[in-house]
Each structure stands twice: as C-alpha cells, then as structure tokens.
Amino acid sequence: MSRPTPLRDVHEGLGATLTDFAGWRMPLRYGSESAEHKAVREAAGLFDLSHMGEIFVTGPQAAAALDYALVGHLSAVTPGRARYTMIVNERGGVLDDLIVYRLGDEEFMVVANASNYEKVGDELKNRAKSYDVVVEDRSQQYALIAIQGPRSQEILATLTDADLAGLKYYAGLPGLVDGRQALIARTGYTGEDGFELFVANQDAVPLWHTLMAAGEPHGLKPAGLSSRDTLRLEAGMPLYGNELSAELTPFDAGLGRVVKFDKPGDFVGRSALEAVKDDPPRRRLVGLVARGRRVPRHGYPVTKDGAVVGEVTSGAPSQTLGKPIALAYVDTGADSGLAVDIRGSHEPMDLVELPFYRRNK
C-alpha cells in the first residue's frame, strides 16, 4: 500500500494523475506535463516533494560522525549552508546521493531520496555508534514543498520577510512563510532558481493554497513528477537508480569532485575510492541528442558501427531543446558515430557536453 503525502487531497482536488513512486502515492501530472515543464522554465512551478527523507544528526560530534559516514567534508560546512554529497558502501558504490544542511554547530539535516531514506538512516545510525550523536529519522514529521523557476523569489517574497535576495545557492534559513515556520532552502532539482520549504505536515495544505494564490498571477502552476524528471534531465542531474547505483562509484558517474580525500580521518569507502580515483573509467556518463524524433529510453543500448558500446540511463523529449535527449553510460573513447537501438532501429545521436540546459543567471 502506497503512502499518501499530506497534500493528497490537494492533488486529487486538482485532478492529478497519481502514480506509485518509491512507496508513495505521488502526482505524475496535473494536466499537460509539457505545460508544467514550460512554466518552470519561464515562470514557476510548485512541487510536492514530501516523499523525501529527513534524517537529523545532532550532538557534539555530529560533524565528525558525518565526515566518517559520508564522502564529503561536512565539518567544513558553516551553519546555514548545505552540501551535495553521497553515502557509499565499503566498495565505494553509491548507496544514495544526499543534500546535507548544517542547521547549527551541532545539528545537521540529511535529505535522502524517497527510495533510500530508511536505508540511509540505518547506515547513519550504524556508522555513528562510536560518536556522541543522536541520529533520528524525522521524515514522517515533515512535508516538503518546492517552488522552482525564474519568478519563484518574486512569488515567495510576498509571503515572507526572510532575506531571500541574500540567501545563497545551497543555503537555508529558518523563517516564517505566511506565518508558518519553515526551513527555507535555496536548492532544487530543476536547473532553475528556486526554493524548497520544509514545513510541519499540518502546514502543508494551507501553505500550498497560499503559494498558489500568490503565484498564479505570475504564471505559477502545480507540477508533477513527469516534469520534474524532464527538467532534471535537461539540467544533467543524476537520478538514483538510473545514473547512480551501488554498482557505480562517484567517479564512474563523473562526480568524483564530491569525494573529499583531504578531510581529516578515515571515512567509509575511502580505501576503495582511493584505489580507483586515478584510473580512467571504463565507461563515462554523457549527453546524447537525437537527430530524429524517436525517443531513447532507459535501458536502450547505445551502439557504434552496430556494436553495443553503452546503455541509456534516462531519456525523454526535451521541451526546451525541441529534440529527444538522453543520459547514457558509454565506453570511454566512443565519442562519435553513436546511435541508440530503439526497437531494432539504430537512431543516430550527437554526443554533447552536459548539461543540456543552463539557465541565465
């Protein structure tokens, strides 16, 4: 049985198409996913992300515990800032990619993907046993609403006195939004400017309605998982289970920069990652743009001269580019003459630099 988010009645009232995702009943789309995608690129979109996990690590040794448990240097993060990082196994395989918010000197919030947060919580508890910390999964206490798009600050500013203009990317601050306590974070998964609002479950419905009322004159639309996926794909952002898995290291995914070997002490997976950090990867993650109209999808083979040289991890029509696009792992050195086998037809692809889309700042 899939769990509903605190906004279930809102989604049903809007006529959303609902789907089961990572054990949750989530809105796939409210109408046209292309219109939702376009709204985020040109104005703003409102997302229910309450399926994400929030795990709190608190105590005198919270920073040291996270330095050991994760690949990032979390003790170097100042209060009020956030860091994209990963948790890996002893072999260096990615168990999840995370955003960690430092809320205070001795308090961190680890935000994990919906499909992994229970596993992440268990791993953090196990890895923190020898540290003076408390690890607590508070995922059931929080709703998460994201407003994303170039007009998101303009809309949100009508409902809060928080200093949004001074809030840097990957930073967060506590504040009141429409009189309701929230952690306001300048983070997102769309390639656009925007904010993620962590609020108590009981505040989710009234806050959603207030945001929609404030934003509709500016073009704000509710947006579902379908548009969120095409937006993150255009931005070249990885999705766990597609571009990331326990069989791949951060270096395989081209994200070796998140591994901080220069931090003090040991960390889980360090030896395995040090052994491969200077090795050229057998495959690399690349962007592909179709020359035709057929869409490459997850799992389709990538070929060169008829031979398989890789596999598509994510693919969709790009509303912004007007062409089908894909992320794929391909053999190192396979840089040209690529195609994707789409049901027996080898459709030619151009390899491009990621991301496919980069917003004007």
Q: How far apart are CA 175 and CA 150, in angstroms?
A: 21
Give the per-residue pLDDT at 248: 97
Decide which of 279, 307, 333 is a domain's last residue: 279
Q: Which residues of the chain have pLDDT under 50?
A: none
Give the per-residue pLDDT at 361: 73
Query: Could you tell me if 172 and 126 lie in one domain?
Result: yes
CATH number assigned to the domain comprising residue 354: 2.40.30.110
Q: How far apart are CA 220 and CA 250, in angstroms?
A: 35
CATH number assigned to the domain comprising residue 147: 3.30.1360.120
pTM assigned to the model: 0.97
* Tally of structural domains, the chain: 2
88 burial (CB, 10 Å; 0-12 / 13-18 / 19+) is buried
Query: Could you tell me if 219 and 147 lie in one domain?
Result: yes
List the domain range (segments joined by +) for residue 290: 281-361
Is there a binding annotation on residue 347?
Answer: no
Burial 305-332, CB ≥16 within 10 A → b, else e: eeeebbbbbbbbbbbbeeebbbbbbbbe
Query: Could you tell me if 147 and 60 lie in one domain?
Result: yes
Query: Could you tell me if 225 and 343 lie in one domain?
Result: no
User: What would the pLDDT profile of 155-177 be if each residue is shown by its tens digit?
Assistant: 999 999 999 999 999 999 999 99
110 with 55: CB under 8 angstroms? Answer: yes
Pair of tokens at residue 81: 């800032």
**Nearest alpha carbon to residue 93 among 65, 113, 71, 67:** 71
Query: Could you tell me if 185 and 315 lie in one domain?
Result: no
Query: Could you tell me if 306 and 212 lie in one domain?
Result: no
User: What would the pLDDT profile of 30-44 be if each residue is shown by its tens digit?
Assistant: 999 999 999 999 999
User: What would the pLDDT profile of 236-283 be if each residue is shown by its tens digit?
Assistant: 999 999 999 999 999 999 999 999 999 999 999 999 999 999 998 899
Give the per-residue pLDDT at 360: 85
Decide which of 279, 299, 322 is a domain's last residue: 279
Query: Could you tell me if 126 and 51 lie in one domain?
Result: yes
Q: How far apart are CA 26 and CA 28, in angstroms?
A: 6
84 burial (CB, 10 Å; 0-12 / 13-18 / 19+) is middle
Query: Could you tell me if 263 and 354 lie in one domain?
Result: no
Query: Could you tell me if 171 and 271 lie in one domain?
Result: yes
Give the per-residue pLDDT at 176: 98
